[in-house]
Amino acid sequence: MELRTKIFVFRLLRASEICQKIAYWQTLECLGIEYSSFAFLRLLATGITSFFSFFFFGRHRSCSRKMSSSHLQWLITRNTSSFVLKKRNVKQPFSREPLHLTNRHCFKYNTLVHKNVIGVEPAKDKNGFVVVMKSKKKVYKPKASMVRFQIKSGPRHTLAKLSNIVKNGYRKDCRGAVLKRASAIIRSEKTRVAKKAKPAKKAE
């Protein structure tokens, strides 16, 4: 292959990669392109890049096993997911996804599209709660990628430990929802003492 042809192909690949990174809403509004149309254009640019890299250089970009963006996965699965639960006279549908913090179908707390996922489950021995996090090592095996560990050292200490885990760069935006669910689990584990019935007043 001539040097000029290689340079042309390299520039074409570089241009397509730059086009994929353009995701500013203001630019899209000026151009009059909807977000769904722009996602289709990104997919088209990715396909062209993969074809040229395979045809000229003998390799395919999918061999690197890179996951698609969470926004693109959300666009594909938000209306077709089997976990969505719709009800009459309810604008926002519910979600039955495992580890979902609010059980409201939304992008922020979706556990299928995000790489970093944190959830809280009640412990089997009813002592504290179990924190579930998604590991980066086994991203392509959803069931094996979940890491579980139990926290049991009193209500205040457990909530403080959980807050520190979330603060240290692992889904800071979910801190409030995680603590609410954990505190609800702790309240449900408390043994309630039945109140004694008051003695009936004697008739005078």
Q: How confident is the model over 150-193, as pLDDT tens digits?
A: 888 777 888 888 888 888 767 888 888 888 998 888 888 877 66
Question: Average of pLDDT values for 15-19?
Answer: 53
Nearest to 189 by CA among 98, 132, 122: 122
Structure tokens at 114: 């995000």
Tens digits of per-residue pLDDT, 75-98? 888 888 889 888 888 888 899 888
Q: What pLDDT does 38 receive?
A: 52
Rounded Cα gap, residues 52 and 44, in angstroms? 13
pLDDT band at 204 (very low <50, low <70, confident <90, very high): low
Q: Do 104 and 120 lie in a common domain?
A: no
> What does the DSSP 8-state code read for residue 171?
-
Domain's final residue, options 82, 113, 144: 113
Residue 163 CA, distance from chain mean position: 19
Is 53 or 116 the better-scoring residue by pLDDT? Answer: 116
**Model confidence at 33: pLDDT above 50:** no
Distances in Å between the Cα of 159 and the Cα atoms of 97, 99, 177 are: 23, 17, 12
**203 domain-assigned:** no
pTM of the model: 0.57
Cβ–Cβ under 8 Å, residues 67 and 75: no
Rounded Cα gap, residues 182 and 98, in angstroms? 15
Q: What pLDDT does 2 receive?
A: 57
Rounded Cα gap, residues 194 and 51, in angstroms? 71
Q: What pLDDT does 31 receive?
A: 47
Question: Average of pLDDT values for 185-202?
Answer: 74
Q: Do 16 and 76 lie in a common domain?
A: no
pLDDT band at 8 (very low <50, low <70, confident <90, very high): low
**200 domain-assigned:** no
Range of the domain at 82: 72-113
Rounded Cα gap, residues 54 and 166, in angstroms? 42
Kindly report which listed range (24-38, 41-55, 79-93, 162-176) carries the lowest average pLDDT score. 24-38
Q: How many helices (H) and strands (E) does the chain have?
A: 6, 5
pLDDT band at 53 (very low <50, low <70, confident <90, very high): low
Write down the mean pLDDT value for the chain. 73
| Count of domains for the chain | 3
Q: What pLDDT does 66 receive?
A: 60
pLDDT band at 126 (very low <50, low <70, confident <90, very high): confident
**57 domain-assigned:** yes
**201 domain-assigned:** no
pLDDT band at 43 (very low <50, low <70, confident <90, very high): low
**17 domain-assigned:** yes
